[in-house]
Amino acid sequence: MKSGVNVDQLCPCGLPRPYAQCCGRWHQGPGHLQAPDAPALMRSRYSAYVLGRHDYVLATWHPSTRPAALEPDPPGLKWLGLELRVSAQSDADHATVEFVARSRLAGRAQRMHEISRFVREDGRWYYLDGTFP
């Protein structure tokens, strides 16, 4: 894991809350609170990427589409922010979240725009997959 965030600092997801009261509570692992909906899970996954918490990213990825491992972030990658554009819940167990995540690598700005699908199984939300509009 990359050097963490001070629990009193604002959360990397962009909400105006301290990390410990925002995504940090979901990052604590099994037996702790779980993200209550797809937008909260999306935000917590972004924060996990920022903090190098690939364990959390994989644990919240649906087993049917989850990769065996994630590549480490390239040296010098800096995450710049997350914008949730639209979220919609089609039924009690299926939702989508459209987002844009911005980063910079080697002085070049990058943006990832995705419409992510989420599914809830046994009361727990998982990232399923995404498309790039």
Residue 11: DSSP 8-state: P
Report DSSP state, residue 72. P
37-84 pLDDT, tens per residue? 999 999 999 999 999 999 999 999 999 999 999 999 999 999 999 999
Within a domain: 126? yes
Inside any domain, residue 2 = no
| Residue 80 maps to a domain | yes
Count of helices and strands (H, E) across the chain:
2, 4
Q: Which pLDDT does position 28 carry in this prediction?
A: 86
Place of tokens 């959390």: 56
Q: Please report the DSSP string for 76-92 in residue order.
A: T-EEEEEEEEEEEEEET
Residue 54 belongs to some domain of the structure? yes
Asked whether residue 12 is domain-assigned, the answer is no
With respect to residue 7, please indicate whether it lies within any of the assigned structural domains: no
What's this model's pTM, rounded to 2 decimal places? 0.92
Count of beta carbons in the 10 Å neighbourhood of residue 129: 14
Q: What is the CATH number of the domain that holds 96?
A: 3.10.450.50
> Is 115 exposed, middle or buried, given 0-12, 13-18 or 19+ CB atoms closer than 10 A?
middle
Instruction: Look at residue 27 and tell me if it is in a domain.
Output: yes
* Helix, strand, or coil (residue 48): helix
Residue 3 lies in a domain: no
Total domains, the chain: 1
* Structural domain boundaries, residue 66: 19-131
Q: Are strands 78-91 and 124-131 parallel, antiparallel or unpaired?
A: unpaired
Percent of the chain residues topping a pLDDT of 90: 89
Buried b (16+ CB within 10 A) or exposed e, 63-99: eeebeeeeeebeeeeebeebebeebeeeeeeebbbbb
